[in-house]
Chains A and B, each alone.
Chain A
Amino acid sequence: MDATTVIAVISCAIVLAGWLVLPSKMTTVKPVVVSEERKPVSVSA
């Protein structure tokens, strides 16, 4: 195995290990209020 392959394997291992330890919790966000009524918009050419 050459040096390039060793570094490539280590790189992949770092990324994979990251996924195991990183959080997977929901973040609460403010609900976006969307008005049912929309005003017509006139666009002049």
Chain B
Amino acid sequence: MKIDSGDTAWVLASAALVMLMTPALGFFYGGLVRRKNVLSTIMHSFFILCLISVQWVLWGYSLAFGPDKFHLIGGLEWIGLNNVGFTPNADYAPTIPHQAYMVFQMMFAVITPALISGAFAERQRFKAFVLFSLLWATFVYDPIAHWVWGAGGWLHNLGALDFAGGTVVHISSGVSALVAALVLGRRLGFGKEKVEPHDATMTILGACLLWFGWFGFNAGSAVTAGSLATSAFVVTNTATAMAALTWMTVSWWHKRQPSVLGAAAGAVAGLVAITPASGYVNVMGAIVIGFGAGVVCYAAIQLRERIHVDDALDVWAVHGIGGTWGALATGLFATVAINSSAANGLFYGNPKQVLIQLAAIGAAWGWAAVGTFVILKVVNLFVPLRVQEEEELLGLDISQHGEPAYAL
């Protein structure tokens, strides 16, 4: 196997783009919370970038991508990056150094638990968050990543299509967010007092940086610098724009004004939904996926509000439902005209692909829900999940970190 310098440069640049998404997520979430909690919210993302970077090289990569054990998990042969050097790995990326693929995947492992942090914003104890994130990455993310992307993983063998992480990243984090919101309970005053975003401009900036970084997420997942990466780039941008337009229009109809934050949330929903499909669908499929994301994710937020679940920053609605729609839509609109190594979807004569996608969706929902519930209960045995009432009222910036975000 010969290393291709163009492919290597693209994957390393993509890894850097995906890395930027985690602090961008911090800004996206940080703008949506109250002023007394902005620093703690940004810290969730920044801390996870550090934590999972170390976890991944020590054991995470080995569990997710190491030699297959029973089609369920990777072995420990690659622990500490043992046997993960510069020679390409034929199973994953035959034209780039194995470590380039490893570090690209690291950034996916980093952002996934950071996504969950939006659900328990403004009330989770930092120490509990640290323990939860480490356990979740190890026992929820790594196994699901192996099932879908690992050589020998059972969903991989089944033929499930997930180009850049609809099931691995977004369903797993979105469903876990819902479970976390239910286990932790609502914030003080939830439903009684209005909680306004403290800085909408910060959220818009975060959304724009997420959009930028997502080109690495999706187009980088081609792990080659060629036509497939180009197609993924184009459909990512198209679906994102369509979802933003759709969300804005739906919220305009519903709330009588075109919401700026709604457009940003819609863009993120579109990015989520196109993620699993980005290497398999054409630009028309991307428009439909973006349109669907704008409608179903907006509807999911209305449902979440109606049942009074305090998923503070709507991680379940945007990532759980958006990821589910994207994974299902992949089974509808995938075409071998875009990716000859994949499969056609329902609209191109292969209804079986929808069933395979549903199996992957169900498996990711089930494992994420049960795993998250168990991990939260275990963590709660050692550290209370929530801060005390007076700490919550004071704000987590001061009570957890001893620092105010702004000196105004």
Which residues of A are at the interface with B, using a C-beta cutoff of 8 A? Answer: 2-5, 7-8, 11-12, 14-15, 18-19, 22-23, 27, 41, 43
**Beta-carbon contacts under 8 Å, B273-298 to A:** 282, 284-285, 287-288, 291
Nearest to A18 among chain B residues (CB) is B249
Are B252 and A22 within 8 A (Cβ)?
yes
Q: A11-B288, A12-B287, A18-B253 are in contact. List 12 more A-B contacts (CB 8 A).
A: A3-B347, A7-B288, A8-B285, A11-B287, A12-B242, A15-B245, A15-B249, A22-B253, A22-B258, A27-B256, A41-B408, A43-B407
Dominant secondary structure at the B interface? helix
B75 in the interface, Cβ–Cβ < 8 Å?
A: no
Where the two chains meet, the residues of B that have a C-beta atom closer than 8 Å to any C-beta of A are: 242, 245-246, 249-250, 252-253, 256-258, 282, 284-285, 287-288, 291, 333, 347, 404, 407-408
Expressed in whole angstroms, the Cα–Cα distance for A32 and B256 within the complex equals: 22
Minimum CB–CB distance from A44 to chain B (whole Å) comes to: 10
| Interface SS of A by simple majority | helix
Q: Which of B246, B284, B404, B408 is in CB contact (< 8 Å) with A8? A: B284
**Chain B residues near A18 (CB, 8 Å)?**
249-250, 252-253
Nearest 7 CB-CB pairs, A to B?
A11-B291, A8-B287, A8-B284, A18-B249, A5-B284, A43-B407, A4-B284
Q: Residue of B at shortest CB range from A1?
A: B284
The smallest C-beta distance from B261 to any residue of chain A, in angstroms, reads 15
Q: Are B252 and A2 in contact (CB under 8 A)?
A: no
Please measure, in the bound complex, the distance between the C-alpha atom of A19 and the C-alpha atom of B246, giving whole angstroms.
10
Give 7 A-B contacts (CB < 8 Å), ordered by A residue: A8-B284, A8-B291, A11-B242, A11-B291, A12-B242, A22-B253, A23-B257
